């Protein structure tokens, strides 16, 4: 089964938030089998359900441990939605 996850990260600590967000994204991009797309508002991660969910949750945990305080907003959608075009 495939999954699509839309993630927004809001660091609440006194860290360089842009750096922390890009570190989170870079770690996801290093995982073979995941497709990662970013835009100005969120990051979308697509892949096999177990790999994708486990990887995202591990990186969320790592970010919480590193920053101490951060908010993640995540939407999980069954199926690979990476091929859908966005209408403007």
Contact call for residues 65 and 24 (beta carbons, < 8 A): no
Q: CATH number of the domain that 58 lies in?
A: 3.30.70.930
Give me the residues paired with residue 21 across strands. Answer: none
The per-residue pLDDT for range 8-67, each reduced to its tens digit, is: 998 886 767 788 889 999 999 999 999 999 998 999 999 999 999 999 999 999 999 988
CA distance linking residue 81 with residue 6, whole number of Å: 10
In a domain, 88, yes or no: no
Rg (CA), the chain: 13
**Residue 50 lies in domain:** 2-78
In a domain, 44, yes or no: yes
Segment 67-80 mean pLDDT: 92
In a domain, 65, yes or no: yes
**Number of compact structural domains in the chain:** 1
User: For the whole model, what pTM was predicted?
Assistant: 0.87
């Amino acid at each position: 089964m495939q999954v699509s996850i839309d993630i927004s990260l809001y660091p609440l600590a006194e860290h360089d938030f842009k750096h922390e967000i890009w570190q989170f994204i870079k770690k996801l991009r290093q995982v073979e089998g995941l497709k990662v797309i970013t835009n100005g508002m969120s990051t979308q991660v697509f892949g096999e359900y177990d790999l994708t969910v486990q990887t995202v949750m591990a990186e969320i945990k790592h970010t919480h441990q590193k920053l101490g305080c951060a908010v993640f907003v995540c939407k999980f959608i069954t199926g690979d939605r990476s091929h859908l075009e966005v209408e403007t």
